[in-house]
């Protein structure tokens, strides 16, 4: 099966009908990860099939849940984005979402900028900074295996819009981290994900600021 067909079927299993241009951009993004990986250590994966399942489909699994939580125009900050996961995938699928991928490592932010340029994604920006030093307001703040939930919340709470949400992609449900959350955040939903071709537990921990 071709990579394109595998991607299309995987997306279908996640309830996503991929447009032709979206599929092309996703595959081109996967190719860019592999190309840059030869020079910069963006990700531990070196195999195209693994990049497809562990990166592209894993990030695609967040698109449906995000649509349900935040349909319509939004500003999203992807923290500790690394090679741009899930931020770049969200930018490809959701043209109505302005995505900023922030990373403390300059070459990773530069890579995201390169992806935005090569794939003509006007709604995608790579930013070299520490999240604690940023200013602004975002409707969604996401992370994927970035840090513990308490660290994620404390580092970014000043950037979350009053009615905004945190979207933390995790493996197993991190009950210990949830129990240690600071008072600035509360979990309102833990969403189990099934990623096609990936034999591993995945979930999204959705959080918001407590009312009042």
pLDDT by residue for the chain (212 residues), tens digit each?
899 999 999 999 999 999 999 999 999 999 999 998 887 777 766 777 778 888 899 999 999 999 999 999 999 999 998 899 999 999 999 999 999 999 999 999 999 999 999 999 999 999 999 999 999 999 999 999 789 999 999 999 999 999 999 999 999 999 999 999 999 999 999 999 999 988 899 999 999 999 87
Per CATH, which fold does 3-208 belong to? Rossmann fold (3.40.50)
Relative to beta strand 202-208, strand 186-193 is antiparallel
Phi (first) and psi of residue 169, to 5 degrees: -85, 125
């Amino acid at each position: 099966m071709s990579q394109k067909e595998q991607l299309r079927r995987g997306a279908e299993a996640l309830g996503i009908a991929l447009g032709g241009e979206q599929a092309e951009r996703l595959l081109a993004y996967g190719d860019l990860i592999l190309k840059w990986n030869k020079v910069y250590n963006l990700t531990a994966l070196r195999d195209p099939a693994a990049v497809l399942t562990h990166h592209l489909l894993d990030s695609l699994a967040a698109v449906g849940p995000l649509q349900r939580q935040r349909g319509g125009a939004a500003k999203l900050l992807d923290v500790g984005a690394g090679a741009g996961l899930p931020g770049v995938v969200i930018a490809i699928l959701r043209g109505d979402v302005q995505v900023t991928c922030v990373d403390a490592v300059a070459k990773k932010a530069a890579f995201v900028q390169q992806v935005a340029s090569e794939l003509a994604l006007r709604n995608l920006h790579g930013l070299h900074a520490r999240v604690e030093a940023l200013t602004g307001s975002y409707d969604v703040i996401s992370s994927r295996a970035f840090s513990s939930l308490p660290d994620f919340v404390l580092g970014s709470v000043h950037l979350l819009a009053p009615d905004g949400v945190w979207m933390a992609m995790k493996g197993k449900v991190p009950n210990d981290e949830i129990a240690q959350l600071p008072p600035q955040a509360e979990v309102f939903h833990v969403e189990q994900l099934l990623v096609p071709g990936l034999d591993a537990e995945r979930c999204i921990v959705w959080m918001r600021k407590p009312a009042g």
